[in-house]
Every structure is written in structure tokens, then in C-alpha cells.
Amino acid sequence: GAVVSQHPSRVICKSGTSVKIECRSLDFQATTMFWYRQFPKQSLMLMATSNEGSKATYEQGVEKDKFLINHASLTLSTLTVTSAHPEDSSFYICSARRGRAYNEQFFGPGTRLTVL
């Protein structure tokens, strides 16, 4: 159990377009979902934390109007990169937390975004 999926796994888009990435907890309800960004040879950096039915909490330096997060249900969170630019090209990873226990956080497989 505890599987988290992301869709799409890879996306290439033109500069100026918007891209939506989905994160789903397949076999559990996620009280909290997290979105991370990872640049090559660097560690994961938390972008935002979202709780179902409430607004996401963004980390310092992350533009909330550029990275729109919607946590519509206990099994689905979406990240929309609006007006994407080449510098937004990165590996985006979500994770989902089941319950409040410390060991109940599971990562998705990631989405590779390339903006041309």
C-alpha cells in the first residue's frame, strides 16, 4: 500500500504556456500533500504544503501566482505552472502524508518539465 502517482511523468511545453501536474494517492487518503522541485545534482526543495480544502502554504521565494496548487480532495493535488519559462524546467516531485504519524509520508515518481 501507500502508492503515490504523478501525471504526466514527462512534459515538454513552449514558453508562455501553462502546465498542470497531478499527484494522486492511490490507496490512501492524504491529509497533507507536498510539492518539491529538484534541479540537476541538487536536493529536493520544498515549494509548498497543501491541505485538503484549504489554501496551500508556500515556502519563501516561491511565487504562489506562478505555481498554483489545488488540493481538491483527499487523494488529489494539482500543481499548475502558469506562463512557464525555460528557468521553470525542473523535476517536480510530490509527496503525500497519510495521517499524522511521522513515518507516513510517501513520494511520487516525479514529473520532468522541460520548457522550450
Using the minimum distance from each CB to other proteins, give the nearer residue, 4 or 19: 4
CA-to-CA separations, 92 to 16, 40, 62, 99, 102, in angstroms, rounded: 18, 11, 14, 23, 22
Using the minimum distance from each CB to other proteins, give the nearer residue, 14 or 100: 100
Using CA atoms, how far apart are residues 49 and 72, in angstroms rounded to an integer? 13
Q: Say whether residue 102 binds other proteins (CB under 8 A).
A: yes
Instruction: Residue 109: name the closest of 2, 1, 4 by CA.
Output: 4
For the bound state, the minimum distance from the C-beta of residue 100 to other proteins, rounded and expressed in Å, comes to: 8
Using CA atoms, how far apart are residues 61 and 12, in angstroms rounded to an integer? 24
Q: Say whether residue 89 binds other proteins (CB under 8 A).
A: no
What are the grid coordinates assigned to 115, written together? 520548457
Among positions 45, 62, 68, 76, the unique one binding other proteins when judged by CB under 8 A: 45
Among positions 31, 70, 82, 105, the unique one binding other proteins when judged by CB under 8 A: 105
Interface residues with other proteins (CB under 8 A)?
4, 6, 41-46, 49, 91, 93, 95, 102-103, 105-110, 112
